[in-house]
Amino acid sequence: MVGVLFDKGDNNGFTRSPWQHLPSSAGEPQTINSVRLNAEDLLPGNRDYYHCRGSLTTPHCSEGMRWFVMKQPRQASSSQIRKFVSTVGKNARPVQAVNRRFVLKTN
C-alpha cells in the first residue's frame, strides 16, 4: 500500500477532475469514462518514504500489508477536503497498538 498524506492548503490539481464526479454519499462503485487518472501524478515530488508492515485500514483489516507512506505531504484546499469527507465520512480507524511493527526509514 502507498500512503500519501494531505495538509490543508492550496487547491490540488490532481483531484479537480475526479472530485467533480464524487457522489453525494458513498455507495456502489461507478465508472466515469471521461476521467482518466495516473496514480503517479498523486505522488509528491520528493519520493522518500517510511516503510512498515501493518494491516488494511478498512474491514476486514487483515494483517500482513506492506505500507510505504510518503514523507512529503501533498496539499488540498478546504473545499476539496470537505467534499471528500462528506462523501466517504471519517475513514480513519482508531490508532492501533504497535505490537511487533517496526518503521523502516529511507533517506
Better-scored residue on pLDDT, 8 or 22 = 8
15 contacts 75 by C-beta, under 8 angstroms? no
At residue 78, the pLDDT reads 92
Number of folded domains that form the chain: 1
Q: For residue 13, tell me if it sits in a domain.
A: yes
State how far the Cα of 84 lies from the Cα of 80, in Å rounded to an integer.
6
Residue 92 resides in a domain: yes
* Residue 31 belongs to some domain of the structure: no
* Local confidence band at 92 (pLDDT 50, 70, 90 cut-offs): low
Residue range(s) defining the domain that contains residue 58: 2-25+36-105
Count, residues in the chain? 107
In a domain, 86, yes or no: yes
Please indicate, yes or no, if residue 30 is contained in any of the structural domains: no
Position 74 in a domain:
yes
Q: Which of 23, 42, 13, 10 is nearest to 87 (CA)?
A: 23
* pLDDT at residue 85, as a whole number: 85
Q: Supply the CATH number for residue 50's domain.
A: 3.10.200.10
Confirm whether 80 is domain-assigned. Answer: yes
pLDDT band of 106, cuts 50, 70, 90: low
| pTM for this model (two decimals) | 0.73
Phi, psi of 63, deg, nearest 5:
-80, 175
Instruction: Average the pLDDT over 88-107 and give the result.
Output: 71
Could you read off the pLDDT of 12-48 as tens digits, one per residue? 888 777 888 888 777 777 788 888 888 898 899 999 9
